[in-house]
């Protein structure tokens, strides 16, 4: 069994004239993460490997999850390959996860995440919003085999306020 947890980064700021990957979270990004984490904390069982895009907005979101879920430093990695907007690139990278890990949490970007949620899970969503989270389980033994999963949980900040 493999469990994939996909999280879109929090709401980011366009206020500064910064390159895309350096855009920080807005206050709302932090607040939304707290709301989603409060709900997810009841569902989460320890043991996930956390991989985040190096983009500031994704990395900051991932750090909040890491702290709240008490994920050890050894299970938290920043991955350049996750700064992609292409679902095929994202899926290919997810499939490199070591097979001895049953749970993988990814912090990345749209449109790749929404397309991936819809192609891998069994419940369609129109859009994975900022700080949106989706959990998909797969009855497979290797990450390379993930194709048709069961969507167990979707958490969207607007539905939790």
| Nearest partner of 128 among 155, 151, 100, 93, judged by Cα | 155
Instruction: Give the tens place of pLDDT for each residue, 111-149.
Output: 999 999 999 999 999 999 999 999 999 999 999 999 999
- 20-24, 64-68, 73-77, 130-134: the lowest-pLDDT one: 20-24
What pLDDT was estimated at residue 138?
98
Q: What is the pLDDT of residues 70-97, one digit of tens each?
A: 999 999 999 999 999 999 999 999 999 9
Domains along the chain? 2-160 (3.40.50.1240)
Residues 6+ apart with CB under 8 A from 51: 77, 78, 79, 82, 97, 104, 105, 106, 107
């Amino acid at each position: 069994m493999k469990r994939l947890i996909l999280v879109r980064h929090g709401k980011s700021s366009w206020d500064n004239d910064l390159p895309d990957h350096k855009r920080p979270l807005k206050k709302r990004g932090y607040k939304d993460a707290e709301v989603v984490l409060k709900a997810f904390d009841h569902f989460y069982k320890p043991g996930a490997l956390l991989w985040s895009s190096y983009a500031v907005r994704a990395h900051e979101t991932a750090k909040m999850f890491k702290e709240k879920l008490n994920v050890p430093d050894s299970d938290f990695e920043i991955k350049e390959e996750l700064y992609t907007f292409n679902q095929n690139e994202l899926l290919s990278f997810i499939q490199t996860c070591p097979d001895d890990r049953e749970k993988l949490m990814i912090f990345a970007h749209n449109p790749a995440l929404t397309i991936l949620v819809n192609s891998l899970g069994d419940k369609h969503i129109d859009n994975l919003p900022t700080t949106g989270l989706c959990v998909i389980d797969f009855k497979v033994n290797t990450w390379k085999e993930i194709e048709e999963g069961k969507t167990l949980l979707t958490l969207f900040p607007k539905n939790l306020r």
